[in-house]
Amino acid sequence: MLTQAPRGTKDVTPEVSALWQYVEAQMRDACAKAGYREVRTPTFEHTELFVRGVGDTTDVVQKEMYTFLDKGDRSVTLKPEGTAGVVRMLIENRLYAEAQPMKLYYLNSPIFRYEKPQSGRFREHHQFGVEAFGAAGATVDAEQIALAWDLLQGLGIKDLRLNVNSIGCPGCRPEYHDRLRAFLAQRLESLCGTCKERFDRNPMRILDCKSPECQRLITGTPSVLDCLCGECEAHFAALQETLGLFGLPFQVDPGIVRGLDYYTKTVFEILTDIGGGSLAITGGGRYDLLVEQLGGPTLPGVGFGMGMERVLMVMEAQGVAPPVQGLIDVFVCAQTPAARQPAMVLAMALRRAGIRADADHMARSLKAQFKYADKCAARTVAVLGEEELREGCVTLRDMATRVESRVPLDGAVEALKQCGG
RNA sequence: GUGGGUGUAGUUCAGCGGUUAGAGCGUCAGAUUGUGGCUCUGAAAGUCGUGGGUUCGAUUCCCAUCACCCACCCCA
């Protein structure tokens, strides 16, 4: 118990941290290219922020939040999604007063949801996310979708599918809700329990129900897309046109509803296939009312979240993770006990010269030191033995070619620097 | 939250109601004494998830509990 990570959490061990760093670098690069700047928000926020932002009818708020009272009797919650905190930061720091659009991203943001862990689903996971504020037009929506798509493609992930939808705005959604209720009213008794509850408060979520019976009952429901107001319709048309111009293959899926209440107009998901089923790697959309709803100015926004663990999982499952790099460039072997200290000193000098270097810390035999150097994937081994110490030189061995040469000890750093280790 | 499966060495897994619980991989050490990958030899390493029960005796059977995996729910 003591030596067991809490349920639904995962360690990043040394053998996988390199892959994390690789993916993080790609994400930063993608954002930098599109003019997004990094932000970091607290791991916990006032509970009220999520209740008002995410929506009190959502499963996330109703049953998945890590909420507790701190010692000052304040109700705080570990963030269950990334957007609310960024919006809070935007309002508090008056970022909306600067040049718009305000384009922001966050990386490795811990996200907490109390749910039953499963493959690709954790109680603590990490998200990469992108948000843009101030731009009402669909080009930002498309830009972000393209950013996510290109990033995932660049990481080598295969079988990507992009689904988009529009769920309207407060102007047109009530009408759709009415139509939906009218359609479902006579089948209400046959719906599953949760869907009966959804009927009044949030009937669109019924479309998302996975129960076969509910799926059967909703066939033939009116589509949101038929109820969009002129503005929403034009926005959705512009989105599709821009996605086309960007060369992104997409599918309109009127079934995408999303589990967070703040979305308006655009919603989208990027899925891939893994072990039989499909898995959402990215999801997001537009939230034109959220900033105002949380006490800020009237300011449109768009964003998405991408699950870091899911990205890594898919890369590993699809075998597209890049090969691991060698740990060091040069290993300095000491043949005799007398050579250990000079070996360590040489390694230190190499490090100071910018070369990744190491020497034996285990008082091991020369042979064992070579084995260790091999495991570290050192390209070069420098040997210090009786002879070398006597003559003031060092033997350099190229581990790939097995070619050896001798250089003066005081010129060793320069020599190794030149051959790049 | 509901349903199903699995817990044995660092890891992947054998095993059996009965003496000191095994193998591959990994780790460490050797193979005539200054050199890695391959091969060979040897060693270290396990409260058999945890707690109860049945039994002369439980790693094995039963119950509970915890953890992991899978499906649902939901989502990234």
Q: What is the mean pLDDT of chain A?
A: 90
Q: What pLDDT is attached to residue A276?
A: 63
In a domain, A298, yes or no: yes
Q: A391: which DSSP letter? A: H
Q: A336 and A299: one domain? A: no
Nucleotide nearest to A394 (CA to C1'): B34
Final residue before a domain boundary, out of A317, A346, A381: A317
Residue A355 lies in a domain: yes
Which nucleotide lies at the shortest CA–C1' distance from A120?
B76
Q: What is the DSSP letter of A222?
A: P
Give the pLDDT score at A421. 53
State the pLDDT confidence band at A1, using cuts at 50, 70 and 90: low
For residues A140 and A119, state if they share a domain.
yes
DSSP state of A411: G
Residue A197 pLDDT greater than 60, yes or no = yes
pLDDT cut 70: percent of chain A above it = 95
- Domain closes at, from A317, A345, A368: A317
pLDDT digits (tens, 9 = 90+) for A58-106: 888 888 899 989 999 999 999 999 999 999 999 999 999 999 999 999 9
pLDDT tier for residue A132 given thresholds of 50, 70 and 90: very high
In 3D space, the residue among A310, A357, A351, A349 whose CA is nearest the CA of residue A329 turns out to be A357
Using CA atoms, how far residue A338 sits from A35, A170, A341, A344, A370, in Å, is: 56, 79, 7, 11, 18
**Does residue A407 form part of some domain?**
yes
A67 and A148 assigned to the same domain: yes
A380 and A411 both lie in a single domain: yes
Residue A362 DSSP class? S
Residues whose CB is less than 8 angstroms from the CB of residue A154 and which lie 6 or more positions away in sequence, other chains included: A26, A30
Provide, in whole angstroms, the distance separating residue A12's CA from nucleotide B58's C1'.
38
At residue A198, does pLDDT exceed 80? no
User: Residue A149 domain-assigned?
Assistant: yes
The pLDDT assigned to A222 comes to 78
* List of residues 6+ apart from A57 with CB closer than 8 A: A201, A202, A261
State yes or no: ipTM above 0.85. yes
Q: Are A45 and A147 in the same domain? A: yes
A219 vs A254, residue with greater confidence: A254
Check: CB of residue A20 under 8 Å from CB of residue A315. no
Asked whether residue A378 falls in the same domain as residue A414, the answer is: yes
Q: What mean pLDDT comes out for the span A13-39? A: 94
Q: How far is the CA of A1 from the C1' of B18 (A)?
A: 32
Residues A51 and A93 in one domain: yes
| Residue A208 clears pLDDT 80, i.e. is over it | no
Q: Domain check: are A163 and A77 in the same one?
A: yes
Q: How confident is the model at residue A324 (pLDDT cuts 50, 70, 90)?
A: confident
For A164, list phi and psi in degrees, rounded to 5. -125, 160
Tell me the residue type at A99. Answer: A
pLDDT > 90 fraction of chain A, expressed in percent and rounded: 67
Supply the pLDDT for residue A37. Answer: 97
Average pLDDT over residues A379-404: 95
Mean pLDDT of A301-325: 90
Backbone angles phi, psi at A132, to 5 degrees: -135, 135
Give the total number of structural domains in chain A: 2
A13's tokens: 């061990």
- CATH no. for residue A25? 3.30.930.10
Q: Do A31 and A147 touch, CB atoms closer than 8 A?
A: yes
pLDDT tens digits, residue range A17-28?
889 999 999 999
Q: Looking at residues A362-384, what average pLDDT do you find?
A: 95
Nucleotide minimizing C1' to CA distance for residue A307: B76
Rounded to 5 degrees, φ, ψ at A366 are -55, -45
Distance between the alpha carbon (CA) of A366 and the C1' atom of B30, Å: 13
Judgement on whether residues A311 and A342 belong to the same structural domain of the protein: no
Checking DSSP bridges between strand A393-398 and strand A380-384, what pairing results, if any?
A: antiparallel
Residues A112-123, mean pLDDT to the nearest whole number: 89
Does a cis peptide bond (omega within 30 degrees of 0) precede residue A110?
Answer: no
Q: Which residue is nearest to nucleotide B29 (CA to C1')?
A: A368
Cα A355–Cα A338–Cα A395 angle in degrees, nearest 5: 45
Whether the per-residue pLDDT at A205 is higher than 80: the answer is: no
> Is pLDDT above 70 for A193?
no
Amino acid identity of residue A184, one-letter, is: L
**Chain B nucleotides reached by a protein CB under 7 Å:** 1-3, 27-31, 34-37, 66-76
Does A99 lie in the same domain as A247?
Answer: yes
CATH number, position A363: 3.40.50.800
Nearest to A376 by CA among A393, A395, A361, A394: A361
Answer whether residue A346 is part of any domain: yes
Residue A367: give the domain boundaries. 330-418
Q: Which residues of A280-311 are buried (b: 16+ CB within 10 A; e: fewer)?
A: bbbbbbbbbbbbeebebeebbbbbbbbbbbbb
In whole angstroms, B56 C1' to A3 CA is 37
Residue A257 pLDDT exceeds 90? no
Of the CA atoms within 13 Å of residue A91, those in its CB half-sphere come to 18
Higher local confidence (pLDDT), A24 or A277? A24
What is the Cα–Cα distance from A316 to A274, expressed in whole angstroms?
A: 10
* pLDDT at residue A212 tops 80: no
3-state secondary structure of A399: coil
If you average pLDDT over residues A374-387, what whole number do you get?
A: 94
Is residue A49 scored above 90 in pLDDT? yes
- A255 and A359 fall within a common domain: no
> How far apart (Å, rounded) are the C-alpha atoms in residues A83 and A54?
9
| Contact (Cβ atoms closer than 8 angstroms) between residue A396 and residue A405 | yes
Within-domain flag for A205: no
Nearest nt to the CA of A269 via C1' is B76
Rounded distance in angstroms from the CA atom of residue A18 to the C1' atom of nucleotide B10: 21
User: Which of A167, A166, A149, A168 lies closest to A158, judged by CA?
Assistant: A149
Domain boundary (A317, A339, A371) is at: A317
Could you tell me if A132 and A163 lie in one domain?
A: yes
Give me the CA A121–C1' B51 separation in Å, rounded. 30
Judge whether residue A170 has pLDDT over 90.
no
Q: What is the pLDDT of residue A303?
A: 97
Residue A197 lies inside a defined structural domain of this protein: no
Is A178 a residue whose pLDDT tops 90? Answer: no
